[in-house]
Amino acid sequence: MHNDDTKHGVQLFMTVALLLSGVVCGAAAAGTKITTHSLLLPDLKIPEIQTELDHKKMADQTGTTSLMVNDLPDDISGDGSGSPAYQIILKAVREELRQSRPTYALKILENDPLAKKLKHAEFDRIKAQIAQSYLMEGKVARALVIAEQAIERSGKMVPLAGWIAGQASWRNNDYARAAEMFGVCAKSPKASAWLASGGAYWAARSATRAGNQSEAKEWHKKAAQFPRTFYGLISLKALGRDFDFNWEQPDLSSSNKKKLGLDIKVSAALRLSRGGELSAATTALGSSSWMKTEEGRRALLAYFQYKKDPALTLFLARNTRDEDGRFYDTALYPDSPWEPKDGYDVDKAIINALIRQESRFNPHAVSRTGAQGLMQIMPSTAQYIAGNVEHPLSHPETNIEVGQKYVKYLLNDKVVNNDLFKMAVAYNAGPGNLSRWKNDLKDIDDPMLFIESIPSGETRAFVERVMLNYWIYRLQMGKEVPSLDAVAFLDQPDAI
């Protein structure tokens, strides 16, 4: 029941039972059982091989169901900028929060003379982050009080406070109040697309549990305005709407193909990109005359797709639309042109999803902690999973070969149990952290609430972005996505 290639009807029949046990997603195994003995490893104390990766990559999402308006939003926090005083206090507060000391953080906010000079909305935005820290520590009542204080004074100007108050109210089974608080988040003009769609999705679920189906439907419609976000795509599915993605590719005329092949700056960009110097490559492109017009960018995009350079394709996709004003989803979600030596024995959609999040298809990417290549594999991971590899981890085929072995290893882990959501948690934070969080959160049987209760914001964001990538890649491949169906119909499947 974990395989997204399983027949859709059977999956829906078992959805409720599976979700009650925390099993919410399809496995990545591509049609064959995972029986390789070298991957069925004993329960050893392995190094925390994927715990400190550099995941400060923003997602490439856009705005509406028609995919025709708004730029692709980068901001995921809804925090935005602030005055110099705000930045100083925020830095001091976050230092305390990193050490899990929200009470000390609150004392700084309430007693520092500089904090008293903050605008009300700035003060309350910081207060919301302190409330979030209390919530992650399991101090639900305290989190709710502080978040509601921020909302009472600043309202929709502090969307995070609405999000925290909604989560706390949900945990208290106060679903009517949760819907109201999540609504504050969803309606906020300061909320990013990710935060607004998340607030609307949870408002819909809260309204459903409160018995207000018509309100739930309206909130799902609100979330579905952002279909390239995790919660937006789920709500779109809950409404039974078609996925209006643009799978077309820009045309590459023979004359443009020849001109681009002779262009010195374009050739330099390709050379630099393939050498792992993406920053230099994009700089070279920036001064190219092809970048100055929409038509020129379409020709460039088509050329990079022809040259099978997914890193430059993805870069350019953010700035290129078709004649109807739509982004090219085949470019926003490019296919990996590389294959492991013995082919894929893991669903390529999950490999693409991980590569897109981890390295943006740069084979030479290296994180500040030493993770390398397309799938950001730590050398210790490669040694443990695959032994001595023939090529360096910057070699694309080798990196994917090791990466898919690691994915299979994680899927076989008894805590992951073939669950893609949990696999993504373990891939980002390590199997040990997943085990600890499962134990700490053992009273939570709601799979989406489990994700939102993970104390690492980096890991929460990673899971949601990888799963969104995975679903969109499956849709692009023309495959069913029962794992998306499962999370779309958590509450009363026939209600929407």
The span from the CA of 485 to the CA of 366, in Å, is 35
Bridge partners of 27, per DSSP, are 3
Residue 191 DSSP class: -
Task: Determine the pLDDT at residue 11.
Answer: 41
Contacts (Cβ under 8 Å, ≥6 apart) of 118 = 83, 85, 86, 89, 126
Task: Determine the pLDDT at residue 422.
Answer: 97
Task: Determine the pLDDT at residue 68.
Answer: 26
What does the angle CA 114 – CA 118 – CA 124 come to, to the nearest 5 degrees? 120
Q: Determine contact, residues 447/487, Cβ cutoff 8 Å.
A: yes
Task: Determine the pLDDT at residue 8.
Answer: 41
Task: Determine the pLDDT at residue 150.
Answer: 98
Contacts (Cβ under 8 Å, ≥6 apart) of 227 = 62, 64, 65, 67, 233, 236, 243, 244, 245
pLDDT mean by block of 10 residues, the chain; 496 residues:
43 37 38 28 30 30 26 40 92 96 97 96 97 96 98 97 98 98 97 97 97 97 96 96 91 97 97 94 94 97 98 96 96 97 94 98 95 96 91 95 97 95 97 96 93 95 98 96 92 54
Task: Determine the pLDDT at residue 80.
Answer: 53
Of 180, 215, 358, 401, the active-site residue reads 358
The span from the CA of 124 to the CA of 78, in Å, is 13
Contacts (Cβ under 8 Å, ≥6 apart) of 286 = none
Task: Determine the pLDDT at residue 44.
Answer: 28
For residue 307, how many other CB atoms are within 10 A of its CB? 17
Nearest to 481 by CA among 351, 324, 322, 350: 350
Contacts (Cβ under 8 Å, ≥6 apart) of 385 = 402, 405, 406, 409
Give the side-chain half-sphere CA count within 13 A for 211: 1
Residue 3's SS3 state is strand
SS3 readout for 323-382 = CCCCECHHHHCCCCCCCCCCCCCECHHHHHHHHHHHCCCCCCCECCCCCECCCCECHHHH
Give catalytic status of residue 401 as yes or no.
Answer: no
Give the side-chain half-sphere CA count within 13 A for 95: 8
Nearest to 220 by CA among 493, 492, 488, 494: 488
Q: Determine contact, residues 371/53, Cβ cutoff 8 Å.
A: yes
Bridge partners of 321, per DSSP, are 327
The span from the CA of 422 to the CA of 413, in Å, is 10
List, in sequence order, every beta strand (DSSP E) within 269-340. none
Nearest to 227 by CA among 217, 237, 240: 237
Task: Determine the pLDDT at residue 388.
Answer: 87
